[in-house]
Amino acid sequence: MHGRVKVKSTAQQEEEKRKEREKKLKIYVAARDACFSKRKEGIWDDEALQVTQQLLSSNPDFATLWNYRREILMHLETVRDEEEVQKIYQAELSFLESCLKVNPKSYGSWHHRGWVSTRLPRPDWARELGLCDRCLSLDDRNFHCWDYRRMVVKMSGVPVDQELAFTDRLIGSNFSNYSSWHYRSTLLPLLHPESPEPHSPCREPRRASPPPSPQTHSHRVCEEQLLKEYELVQNAFFTDPNDQSAWFYYRWLLGRAEREEMISCVYVSRDEERVAVAFSRPVNAQSVGLLLVLDGQPQRVEWRSVHPRFKHSPVWICDLPPGTISDVTNEHNLTVHWTEKHTHRDCALYTGRSESWCRDSATDQELFRSELSVEKTSVLQSELQSCNQLQELEPLNKWCLLTIILLMRALDPLGYEKETLAHFQTLKEVDSMRSAYYSDLCSKFMIENTILKMEYAEVRVFSISDKNLTTLCHLDQLLLVTHINLSSNQLQRLPPQFAMLQCLEVLEADNNSIDNLEGLFHLPKLEEVLLKNNQISTLADLQPLASCPKLKRLDLRGNPVTQTANIESELTELLPSVTDLQL
Partner 1 sequence: MAAEELPSEFDVVILGTGLAESVVAAAFSRVGQRVLHLDRRSYYAGNWASFTFNALLTWIQEHHEESQPEEVQDWSSLLEEGEELIYLSTRGSSSITNLQVFCYASEEDEEEEAPNTTEEDQGGDDEVKETPETESADSNEEEKKQKAGGTPAEEEEEQASQTEGEEPTTSAGQSQSEPTRKKISFAQLVKEGRRFNIDLVSKLMYSRGSLVDLLIKSNVSRYAEFKNVTRILTYRDGKVEQVPCSRADVFASRQLSVVEKRKLMRFLTSCVEETEEQRAYNGRPYLEFLCDQKLGDNLQHFLLHSIAMVTEDTPTEEGLASTRHFLRCLGRYGNTPFLFPVYGLGEIPQCFCRMCAVFGGIYCLRHSVSCLLLDKDTNRCKAVIDSRGQRISCSHFVVEDGFIGADWKREATPTRYLSRAVLITDSSILPSDSDQQVSMVTVPPIAAGCPAVKMVELCPSTMTCMPGTYLVHLTCQSAGSAYQDLSPVVTRMFRTPESHDQESSPTVLWCLYFNMADGSGLEGEGHDLPNNVFLCSGPDAGLGHEHAVRQAQAIFQKILPEEEFCPPAPNPEDIVYDGDNNSPSTPGDGETLEGEEEETPEGEEKVEGEEKEEKVEGEVAKEEKVEGEVEKEEKVEGEVEKEEQSLQTEE
**Torsions phi, psi for 209 (to 5 deg):** -60, 125
In the complex, the smallest distance separating the C-beta of residue 129 from partner 1, rounded to whole angstroms, is 20
Stretch that binds partner 1, among 88-96, 151-159, 168-176, 412-420 (CB under 8 A): 168-176
In the complex, the smallest distance separating the C-beta of residue 53 from partner 1, rounded to whole angstroms, is 10
Q: Is 189 in the site for partner 1 (CB under 8 A)?
A: no
Pick the closest to residue 506 from 554, 564, 445 (CA basis): 554
- Considering only residues 56 to 85 of the shown chain, the ones binding partner 1 according to CB under 8 A are 57-58
427, 398 contact by CB (below 8 A): yes
Q: Please spell the DSSP secondary structure of 202-260, one letter per residue.
A: TSPPP-SPPPP-TTT--S-B-HHHHHHHHHHHHHHHHH-TT-HHHHHHHHHHH--PPPP
In the complex, the smallest distance separating the C-beta of residue 223 from partner 1, rounded to whole angstroms, is 20
Q: How many CB atoms lie within 10 A of CB 133?
A: 15
The pattern of x and - marking residues 205 through 234 that bind partner 1 according to CB under 8 A reads -----------------------------x
Q: Is 311 in the site for partner 1 (CB under 8 A)?
A: no
Query: Given the complex with partner 1, which of 178 and 437 has the nearer CB atom?
Result: 178
Q: How many residues interact with partner 1 (rule CB under 8 A)?
A: 46
Q: Of the candidates 175, 310, 316, 521, which one interacts with partner 1 according to CB under 8 A?
A: 175
Query: Given the complex with partner 1, which of 243 and 440 has the nearer CB atom?
Result: 243
Long-range pairs for 578-581 at CB < 8 Å and ≥24 separation? 578/551, 578/552, 578/553, 578/554, 579/552, 579/553, 580/552, 580/553, 580/554, 581/553, 581/554, 581/556
Helix (H, G, I), strand (E, B) or coil at 290: strand
In the complex, the smallest distance separating the C-beta of residue 402 from partner 1, rounded to whole angstroms, is 17
180, 167 contact by CB (below 8 A): yes
Residue type, 172: G
Stretch that binds partner 1, among 148-156, 172-180, 257-265, 303-311 (CB under 8 A): 172-180
The phi-psi region of residue 104 (left if phi > 0; otherwise alpha if psi is between -120 and 50; otherwise beta) is alpha
In the complex, the smallest distance separating the C-beta of residue 172 from partner 1, rounded to whole angstroms, is 5
Helix (H, G, I), strand (E, B) or coil at 468: coil
Q: Is 248 in the site for partner 1 (CB under 8 A)?
A: no
Q: Is 47 in the site for partner 1 (CB under 8 A)?
A: no
In the complex, the smallest distance separating the C-beta of residue 244 from partner 1, rounded to whole angstroms, is 10
The pattern of x and - marking residues 104 through 123 that bind partner 1 according to CB under 8 A reads xx------------------
Q: Is 55 in the site for partner 1 (CB under 8 A)?
A: yes
- Considering only residues 144 to 163 of the shown chain, the ones binding partner 1 according to CB under 8 A are none
Q: Is 394 in the site for partner 1 (CB under 8 A)?
A: yes
Pairwise CA distance, residues 367 & 380, whole Å: 17
476, 278 contact by CB (below 8 A): yes
Pairwise CA distance, residues 515 & 323, whole Å: 39
| Residues engaged in binding partner 1 (CB under 8 A) | 1-8, 13, 17, 21, 24, 27-28, 31, 54-55, 57-58, 101-105, 138-139, 141-142, 172-176, 234-236, 238-241, 243, 386, 389-390, 393-394
